């Protein structure tokens, strides 16, 4: 307890970060997961195995809540990720490429994904289109505001 504020805990001479993490002053534990200037610079000649890259890409595609990756197949050769299959939207295609490119050890991403929305009149996968009708257009010809 602090003398000035008896209802608040005292920092006991520690910085607020040391107090929050529970570390004592001078205990320089390495901060794992904190990005620094040497991230991605491993030992000389180190190359990440294709099996590990494939596993990471598949796990990240599976875990992404904004991406339906059920129609995607992934292969990895010499750090180059190739994605084949289909996704329902253009944004899903872009998202899959971004997810695969964010995996450590990936040198290039070949995105061969097709956009297949399941509708022949919607080649870009943008969802349903609204056809202007008297019910949703004002007399002046502009769409109504507010949904």
- pLDDT tens-digit profile of 62-117? 999 999 999 999 999 999 999 999 999 999 999 999 999 999 999 999 999 999 87
Domain boundaries defined on the chain? 68-124
- Cβ(87)–Cβ(93) under 8 Å? yes
pTM for the full model? 0.58
- pLDDT tens-digit profile of 6-33? 666 666 666 666 666 666 555 555 555 5
CATH of domain 68-124: 3.30.1340.30
Cβ neighbours for 1, distance < 8 A, ≥ 6 positions apart:
7, 8, 9, 10
* Residues 24, 27, 29, 31, CA torsion sign: positive
């Amino acid at each position: 307890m602090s003398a000035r504020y008896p209802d608040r805990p005292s920092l006991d001479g520690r910085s607020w970060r040391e107090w929050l993490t529970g570390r004592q002053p001078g205990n320089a534990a390495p901060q794992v997961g904190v990005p620094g200037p040497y991230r991605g610079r491993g030992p000389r000649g180190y190359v990440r195995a294709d099996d590990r890259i494939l596993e990471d890409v598949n796990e990240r595609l599976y875990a992404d809540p904004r991406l339906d990756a059920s129609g995607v197949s992934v292969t990895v050769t010499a750090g180059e990720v190739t994605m084949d299959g289909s996704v329902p939207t253009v944004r899903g295609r872009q998202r899959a490429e971004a997810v695969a490119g964010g995996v450590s050890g990936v040198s290039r991403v070949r995105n061969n994904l097709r956009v297949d929305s399941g509708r022949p009149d919607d080649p870009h996968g943008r969802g349903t289109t609204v056809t202007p009708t008297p019910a949703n257009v004002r007399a002046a010809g502009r769409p109504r505001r507010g949904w």
